[in-house]
Amino acid sequence: MGRPGITREQVFETASAIAHEGTTPTVMAVRKRLGGGSPNNITKWLGEWKAQHETTRVEALPPLPEPVEAAMRQVWGSAWKGAQDQLESEREALSAARKEIERERAEMLAEISRLDGELEAARAETQERDKALDAARRSHDETRAELREARVLVEERSRRIDEQAAEIQEARRQSSEAQAQTKRLEADLAHLNRELGEARQRADQEAKARSKLAGELDRVQADNRRLSDEIKRAGESAKQAKAALDLGGKKIAKLEGALDEERQARASAERETAELRVQVATLTERTARVEELHALIERLK
């Protein structure tokens, strides 16, 4: 498009000013003097100006003066013919020059159009490059933000891994203590079982002794009249045996109470062992998760 404000009158005035300066007005000279404009419009209006200028120049030739027309007719006719021949030759030369100018103008217009196209393509390419650069900058900024977030995430995961490692270490320590305590409880339980067995053996022996004393008491009662002294001694022996039996019963009760306590302790130890097994399983699972996190960190690195 031509620059707004470039008109036919401006082209005519500019062409006339260039001609008065002694220079042939051309499309490029007029366009440069005007500071722009459509080459097609300038070419069309400059052609009109040249046509009017040539017509005016031809029409400006003066006719022969009347006072000297008769005397100078022959001379004027010869001169006019020579002038017409010269004018025709000049017109032919001008026509050839005009054709050459038109050819050059067409080439120049084609070159201007090509240059304008290249300029527009360069501008479009520059705009595309600017857009691509802006997109690359935005992508770079987003990448840097994602990198910062990834670093924060890695630091947080490293901190969690350290905490879980400390928890695993503490759990292992508690598991070791629990295992040691379980072994102590099992040893105490075995000792109590041995004492219980010994107490049962003593109770069996005392029961046998009581049965034996009961048989002797029956025999003593049957022979009461003959062996009153022996019965008395047997009664004393029976009292002593009863006292011993009562003492054995108390011991048995005490041992049974200890056995109950041992059973309760053993049940508590079994519950604690089950809890410890659950904790160990949990720790094992956490260890697996820690290993997965380590692998993830390696992949992130």
Phi, then psi, of 162 in degrees rounded to 5 = -60, -45
Read off the tokens for 206. Answer: 């005392």
pLDDT on residue 283: 80
Inside any domain, residue 123: no
User: What pLDDT is stored for residue 59 in this prediction?
Assistant: 45
Q: What is the pLDDT of residue 10?
A: 94
Domain that holds residue 245: 169-300
Predicted TM-score (pTM) of the model is: 0.26
What is the pLDDT, as a whole number, of residue 165? 74
Q: Is residue 227 part of a domain?
A: yes
Domain count, the chain: 1
Is residue 51 in some structural domain?
no
CB proximity list for 273: less than 8 A, separation 6 or greater = 178, 182
What's the CATH code of the domain at 247?
A: 1.10.287.1700
Burial 140-153 (b: 16+ CB within 10 A, else e): eeeeeeeeeeeeee
Q: For the chain (length 301 residues), average pLDDT per consecutive 10?
A: 70 94 91 90 93 63 55 65 76 79 79 78 84 80 79 79 80 77 76 78 78 71 72 70 74 79 84 84 84 86 76
152, part of any domain = no
In a domain, 148, yes or no: no
Domain assignment of residue 12, yes or no = no
Which strand (E) or helix (H) includes residue 29? Answer: helix 27-34
Q: Determine contact, residues 31/39, Cβ cutoff 8 Å.
A: yes
Considering the domain boundaries, does residue 202 fall inside one?
yes
Look at residue 60 and tell me if it is in a domain: no
N- to C-terminal Cα separation, the chain: 59
Distance CA 169, CA 271 (A): 22
